[in-house]
Chains A and B, each alone.
Chain A
Amino acid sequence: MKIAYYPGCTLKNRARDLDRYARETASALGCEFEEIPLWQCCGGAYTSAKDEIATKLAAVRALAAGRDMGGRVVTVCSACFNVLAQTNREFLVNPDFDFKVNNYLKGDPAYHGEASVVHYLTLLRDEIGFDAVKARVTNPLKGKKIAAYYGCLLLRPSEALAFDDPEDPSVMEDFIRALGAEPVNYSMRNECCGGYLTLEDREAAKKRSNAVVRSAAENGADFMITACPLCMYNLTKNADEKIPVRYFTDVLAEAFGLKEGAAE
């Protein structure tokens, strides 16, 4: 299986391992991530205002490339996933948006929301299957208690993202089980880490990351996993309590024995 891949800006610098291990683990499962040529930064955040068109064009270009490369786009970063999926949704519910965007882009052919946007986690769940993931594991993470951190961007708005149940998600817990580890249940797994507020009001952002990390720690987590570089930053830099936070792709690569030095 081949699928168009949108890495996003952060995976090309600060979060290189998120990118590398996503591609390597997918490949180990028989799925090739084909990077979209000349992709541009999605902007990091979807602007909900109806009169914002220009800020959404990079996402539209990625979606149109996905359509032309087989009909789908896979992302690994939560923010890219959120922006692409919300942008795509707007084509389906807002004809005015479709009209204005296509006036700007003069794409050939015009784009009307034909692509579908998937996250690597739901690709693992829905197409590759966690049974196949489990079968590929050579280095099971036995005895590890892992706290799945969803945050906001993978789940909300659920109407546009259709990722998982926004109040009681399970894809990351099933992922953890497939790797032979034990998921930790904790109440803050789908609450905000403080996000971009760290640049505007660090103290306020710290309260958010503290609440999340404390909740994971109190419930016995050895480490947390995330798909989002900004969550990674907030949970590791802004929280007073320190628990390791890892990208889900990093943990997957370890379980597959793809990391240097990992026991085979």
Chain B
Amino acid sequence: MNDLKDRVVRMSGSRVERCMRCGKCSATCPSYEDMEYHPHEFVYLVERGDVEKLLASESIYKCLTCFACVERCPRGVEPAKVVEAVRLIAVREQGKNRLKPDDLPALTDADLPGQALATALRKYAK
């Protein structure tokens, strides 16, 4: 098992080897059309140990953590947790925060709830 694959598997707790490639996760994914790699491909590429491609892809920032894929996967693979682990590995690198506190004023308006900022910082920054 290569090191990156091992990290993703341990962080996510996902049993990627249980995937039967039915594609149900991707069929239900609301971000499907905005992703280069889709949930089932995250699972497949991690199982193959091909994590770099995912780390370099914008797809890791498009997942909504809606958990539709987790709820609907017939094999309990939990693809969203795989996507989250890959994204965390990316943003935890020094200087790789996707969203910086300095970016926030330009993105905020008077109606945006504090919840949105807290959540976005959890997702896009370390």
Contacts and interface: CB of A to CB of B under 8 A. Distances in A.
Contacts of B122: 43-45, 47, 55
A220 interface: no
Interface string B105-123: 0010101111111111011
Binding site secondary structure of chain B: helix
Contacts of A103: none
A203 to B, nearest CB: 9
A245 to B, nearest CB: 12
Interface string A137-169: 000000000000000100111100000001100
Most buried by B among A47, A48, A197: A48
A153 to B, nearest CB: 9
Contacts of B84: 47-49
B71 A157 contact: yes
Contact of B65 (A15, A195, A233): A195
Contact of B116 (A13, A50, A155, A233): A233
Contacts of A204: 31, 34, 62
A195 B119 contact: yes
Interface in A20-76: 41, 43-45, 47-52, 55
Interface residues of A, number: 46
Contact of B34 (A44, A155, A201): A201
Given A15-B113, A49-B84, A230-B113, A156 B67 contact: yes
B90 interface: no
Interface in B53-71: 61-62, 64-68, 70-71
A156 B98 CA distance: 26
A201 B70 contact: no
Most buried by A among B67, B85, B98, B123: B67
B30 interface: yes
B62 to A, nearest CB: 7
Given A47-B84, A50-B11, A230 B115 contact: yes
Nearest to A82: B67
Given A199-B107, A200-B98, A10 B113 contact: yes
5 contacts: A10-B114, A43-B122, A48-B13, A191-B68, A195-B119
Interface of B: 10-13, 30-31, 33-34, 61-62, 64-68, 70-71, 78, 80-81, 84-85, 88, 98-99, 107, 109, 111-120, 122-124
